[in-house]
Amino acid sequence: MKAFLIDRYGKNSGRIGEAPMPTVGAHEVLIEVHASSVNLLDSKIRTGEFKLILPYALPLVLGNDLAGVVVEVGSQVQRFKAGDEVYARPPEARIGTFAQWIAVNENAIALKPANTSMAQAASIPLVALTAWQVLVETARIKKGQKVLIHAGSGGVGTLAIQLAKHLGAYVATTTSTANVEWVKALGADQVIDYTRQDFNSVLHDYDLVLNSLDADVLHKSLKVLKPGGQLISISGPPTVQFAQEQGLSWPLQQVMRLLSFNIRRKARQQGVSYAFLFMRANIAQLQQITALIEAGIIKPVVDRSFTFEATAEALKYVEQGRAKGKVVVRLK
């Protein structure tokens, strides 16, 4: 089958080539991929930034989101049949959605929202599950709490703003001048134009900050939290707790402890908590997200779509950090 794969780690690595057809396990579903989407995670995997955390064997087929049609089910699969339209974020050990077909455990798959196209559906799983696991599962946001979501016009940001508003939070976000009104339309109550203002001098007494940006923004974010507040980062640094959850070796656990030492120490000094979140596939959460999409509460945001042959160009576009919402790769 055709796939976009990397033979080595590097910023510009990657090619379209032939990969073996997936074998279908007893609890797996073979999916013909109609669309995938590009995440910054794909870029970080490609450059090798996550190779200690995610030690993939090379060559590796990239891709962490999909929408498509079931063509075969394993002998123990109960919930799906050939012809079902589905979407998923495959488990991290079995990625590879930049390909014509992929086998995915049925516990990571949900029926595609009825009111979305394949391209729209493919844009949702990773970013929506990330937003859910930050806001609902980890932070347990309640009505009336104050949430700062950085990079509100990005893939995670656009979904997180909508979900936080649904939960009843007061939502602030950061973006550039061109996107101020656009993120307000998504539901943001207060928008900080980072080209004109420092968010940490404007915002105060927040319950949660969702960080997806660099270390400078991460440390400044501590200043906007009230005592007992939470700083949750999806861009690092990882913590020893994360390393333990991943089953990483003791030496790697100590590396994570050192990497996050400064931010954890500063958080403790200010009476707040710091956590690193690396999203995981979760069928129950994806089904709840599907219900919100079908109810019109959350709407997918697609910036651009690329042909499969232009996957490398799509990755480059996402790496520029200018996309409003998600970038999609079409295979059908």
Q: Indicate whether 82 and 192 sit together in one domain.
A: no
Dihedral of CA 58/60/64/68: which sign? Answer: negative
The pLDDT tens digits of the residues spanning 1-56 come to 999 999 999 999 999 999 999 999 999 999 999 999 999 999 999 999 988 888 89
Q: Indicate whether 70 and 133 sit together in one domain.
A: no
Burial of 299 (0-12, 13-18, 19+ CB in 10 A): middle
In sequence order, what are the beta bridge partners of 86?
A: 68, 111
Domain harbouring 40, CATH code: 3.90.180.10
Q: Where are the beta strands (DSSP E) in the chain?
A: 2-6, 15-18, 28-38, 60-61, 66-73, 85-88, 101-105, 109-111, 146-149, 170-175, 190-193, 206-211, 225-233, 273-276, 302-307, 326-330
**Position of tokens 């493919």?**
122
Give the pLDDT score at 55.
Answer: 87
- pTM for the predicted model, two decimal places: 0.97
239 located within any domain: yes
| Residue-number span of the structural domain to which 148 is assigned | 126-276
Q: Indicate whether 112 and 183 sit together in one domain.
A: no
Q: Indicate whether 238 and 265 sit together in one domain.
A: yes
| Residue 282: φ, ψ to 5° | -155, 110
Q: Indicate whether 222 and 267 sit together in one domain.
A: yes
Residues 87 and 122: beta-carbon distance below 8 Å: yes
Dihedral of CA 316/320/321/322: which sign? Answer: negative
281 located within any domain: no
What is the tally of structural domains in the chain? 2
pLDDT at 199 over 90: yes
The phi-psi region of residue 71 (left if phi > 0; otherwise alpha if psi is between -120 and 50; otherwise beta) is alpha
Domain harbouring 269, CATH code: 3.40.50.720
Q: Indicate whether 134 and 234 sit together in one domain.
A: yes
The pLDDT tens digits of the residues spanning 110-121 come to 999 999 999 999
Give the pLDDT score at 53.
Answer: 85
